[in-house]
Structure 1
């Protein structure tokens, strides 16, 4: 049973990207229960259903965060709707394909970077002026321990970029009362995606490569299992909260002992 902390985010405005499903959805629902006013951002229109589930303190915004225009519009909407932004949870990302590096085509490499790095860069850049206006705040990036893993090198490179962003931006913004932190989830059991990660579908070879990657993830974890959604949400919200007020620039592995 997941413990909730009523009132933990009272008075806080939280923007959650990639909030229509998976970890982002669960973060948004729990944050709303814990007192946050939340803006759920996604390019899938069913994010509206999640916002309705989250209750009166929630709103939604449909945007393509692989574009800077989408990110800037989302943060501006949060400011206009709630009067400011205190916390940004950057959750957009996910490997599109899994295959040996030499099997990736150049445009597929570009697509992985665009999916799993650029939304975090763009949303963070768009959020900083709003946090400065608020007098401080927190950015939590959802990275991955797959910076060390097989069959997803472009995705791994994107997540390595998020780790670097977390560490370097934390140095820049600490004196401005803005914390920048990250979690690095390992393999996580999640409900089936309503929108597939790879709209083109997987070939038989890709399915085999994916199975190899799944085995590697499980074998690398000391606990020899995937985590649950709840086991990912709790560390994200801890880092977003005032309980973590002396933590910045850190990337917290949440991967059953696999440090990535």
Structure 2
């Protein structure tokens, strides 16, 4: 783990971080634990147990398929059973499976993109609400994307547009219950090689070319003309999750080098 650590910022807080086995979710979960939080690391990859072990005694791993309601509900119940409640949910599960022009997508591929990048956030938000309300309030941070405007991933763009809508509408409903709902919209992010492939079927030669076009578009759309780092994404997520952001709700914060999506 790299990046600044704010000692005790999450002391006394219970956090659920989804997609915690790798990438942005891993960085967020490890840093939250380092800042004093009790953290449930949730992922369907078995090696989430290894990652949680890095964080020490206040971290617990949970295997769950968050593309299902049962998986989301089980994860929230596990946090309550382990730590006594939930204060913060960070919804990080998602990611484009394929890069291709919309006309080239097959119907089953469209469905898969929506299941991966919309349903985990929708289900987890629904599953956590009784536990946040029992706590007297709390915070939900959704990880969206600036790819709501971008080439070769229209189904993913639609899913992340849905995440933005969830964030804003749920914030309106939950404000009277002392629950904030916010989001970041990351742009292109440099990350280590994935331990679980984005596309289990592998990319075709055409998809590799379309991916190269996406990378070029993302860099050109960013004012800074580069990808961000994982820590540049984790930092604003944790800020929004913290009490420092106590007067911020319904906001979707672009973190994309000046590209507002």
**TM-score, normalising length: structure 2:** 0.99
Q: CA deviation at 1:187?
A: 0.2
1:4-53 per-residue CA deviation (whole Å, 9 max, x = no partner) reads 10100000000000000000000011000100000000000000000000
Equivalent-residue separation in structure 2 for 1:62 and 1:8 (angstroms): 26
Moved over 4 A (4+): none
Match of 2:155 in 1: 154
**Partner residue in 1 for 2:245:** 244
**Per-residue CA shift, 1:150-171, capped at 9, x if unaligned?**
0000000000000000000000
Uncovered stretches (5+) of structure 1, i.e. residues with no partner: none
RMSD: 0.5
The answer to whether 1:24 aligns with 2:25 is yes
Distance 2:214 2:140 in 1: 30
Q: Distance in 1 between matches of 2:121 and 2:55?
A: 23
Corresponding residue of 2:196: 195
2:116 is aligned to 115
Counterpart CA distance in 2 for 1:51 and 1:2 is 18
* Partner of residue 7, structure 2: 6
Query: C-alpha offsets along residues 116-163 of structure 1, whole Å, 9 cap, x if unaligned?
Result: 000000011000000000000000000000000000000000000000
Matching residue of 2:167: 166
Deviation at 1:3, TM superposition (A): 1.6
- Provide the rounded CA distance (Å) in 1 between the counterparts of 2:4 and 2:189: 19
Q: Any residues of structure 2 matched to 1:1-260 within 5 Å, and which? A: 2-260=3-261
Unaligned runs of 5+ in 2: none
Find the aligned partners of 2:110 and 2:55 in 1 and give their Cα distance.
36
- Quote how far apart the aligned CAs of 1:189 are: 0.2
Inter-partner Cα distance in structure 2 for 1:199 and 1:3: 34
1:2 Cα offset (Å)? 2.0
Question: Cα deviations across residues 207-257 of structure 1 (Å, max 9, x unaligned)?
Answer: 000100010000000000000000000000000000000000000000000
Paired residue secondary structure (2:253): strand
Q: Secondary structure at the match of 2:157?
A: helix
- Report how many residues are paired: 260
- Structure 1: distance between partners of 2:18 and 2:191: 17
With structure 1 as the length reference, what TM-score do the two structures score? 0.99
CA distance in 1: counterparts of 2:202 and 2:51, whole angstroms: 26
Cα distance in 2 for residues equivalent to 1:2 and 1:249: 27
The secondary structure found in structure 2 opposite 1:189 is coil
